[in-house]
Amino acid sequence: MGTLGIEEEFYVVDEFGRPTSGTDELVYETEPPAVLDGRLDHELFKCVIETQTPRIDDPADAGDHLRSVRDALVDHAEANGFDIAAAGLHPLAKWRELEHAEKPRYKSQLDRIQYPQHRNTTAGLHVHVGVDDADKAVWVANELRWHLPLMLALSANSPYWNGFDTGLQSARGKIFEALPNTGMPTAFDDYDAFETYERRMLETGSIDDRGELWFDVRPHSGHGTVEVRAPDGQADPDRVLAFVEYVYELVVDLAERYEDGESGRRLRREFLDENKWRAIRHGQSAELLSRDLSTTRSVEELVEIESDRLGIDGLWKLYDRESGAERQRRLRSAEGVMALADSLRLS
């Protein structure tokens, strides 16, 4: 209970900051630094690479592990002639011009899903928190659903897709939702119900493996965790750690509530989808439906409520700064696309 794991998806970019094929070289053709051994993988496009931290037993160590993995990735990329960038969608990524990975898993997905997967140039942040009981994990995942739009609003970092301004704060949220088994999940009564669903999806050929249940939150039956997948990718590690803090404290708090016999909120998915849409469209300026769905509250109000309730300060650090989407638009308007691309690089 309470262990952590952090997965991040990044873009491999060239000297001009443009996404480029590089995962073959970085994952298969060269030996990565020891800290990345077994913790480096490619994604659907050859320009997207994923890292995983080791299991983190003490949340106070999350920052050291995250920075160690990131530094190793940047060094590894630079040694092979590449740079690394992060965002929910890279503003210079044009899916028709980018190469897909040749891994059989992704070839199968492209053949089965077609257009939505062919254009899926997204990159996100995934936070795992260990939960020591399967029914508890399902209950916690159910309750986490209301919190996901707040995370997305604060992480919104993808206004551009395929070279144009979408008018959204997190276009990644909509692009990724075009895939099956994504977005806001329904609530499950217990782990047996979730396992039955997962097994039926496999038996009917709806998915090739359980990793293809790409919901914004899920009990991960392979790792024994609850996995939150809502936030856009971030270049700044401090922003990532703010989300890690929030997810960790939420899971621990909800686990204790479950143990105390608290009854869950059986919120309709349609209301949660409305909140997610508001986060996608308006980001930090969104007015989100309150937990009892009786009114709306600003992101600022919700940050105050959640920060006071859980005794955390990371959410304020996110809210008080210019959002990723706002920063991208400002830089592109004032300094041009090269400055925008440069701002997304990891240093």
Q: Which tens digits make up the pLDDT trace of 106-120?
A: 999 999 999 999 999
pLDDT confidence tier of residue 12, bands split at 50, 70 and 90: very high
Count of structural domains within the chain: 1
Name the residue range of residue 260's domain.
Answer: 3-343
Tokens coding 56: 């983190």
Q: Is the pLDDT of residue 121 over 90?
A: yes
pLDDT confidence tier of residue 347, bands split at 50, 70 and 90: confident
d(CA 124, CA 239): 13
pLDDT per residue as tens digits for the range 129-140: 999 999 999 999
d(CA 32, CA 77): 9
Burial class from Cβ neighbours inside 10 Å (0-12, 13-18, 19+) for residue 202 reads middle
Scored b (16 or more CB within 10 A) or e, 92-108 reads bbebeebebbeeeebee
pLDDT confidence tier of residue 87, bands split at 50, 70 and 90: very high
Is the full-model pTM beyond 0.75? yes
Question: What's the chain's average pLDDT?
Answer: 97
* Beta-carbon count within 10 A of 71 CB: 15
Average pLDDT estimate for 281-289: 98
Can you give the CATH number for the domain in which 287 is found?
Answer: 3.30.590.20
Average pLDDT estimate for 48-57: 98
What pLDDT, on a 0 to 100 scale, did the predictor assign at position 135? 98
Q: Would you give the end-to-end CA distance of the chain in angstroms?
A: 33
pLDDT per residue as tens digits for the range 219-275: 998 999 999 999 999 999 999 999 999 999 999 999 999 999 999 988 999 999 999
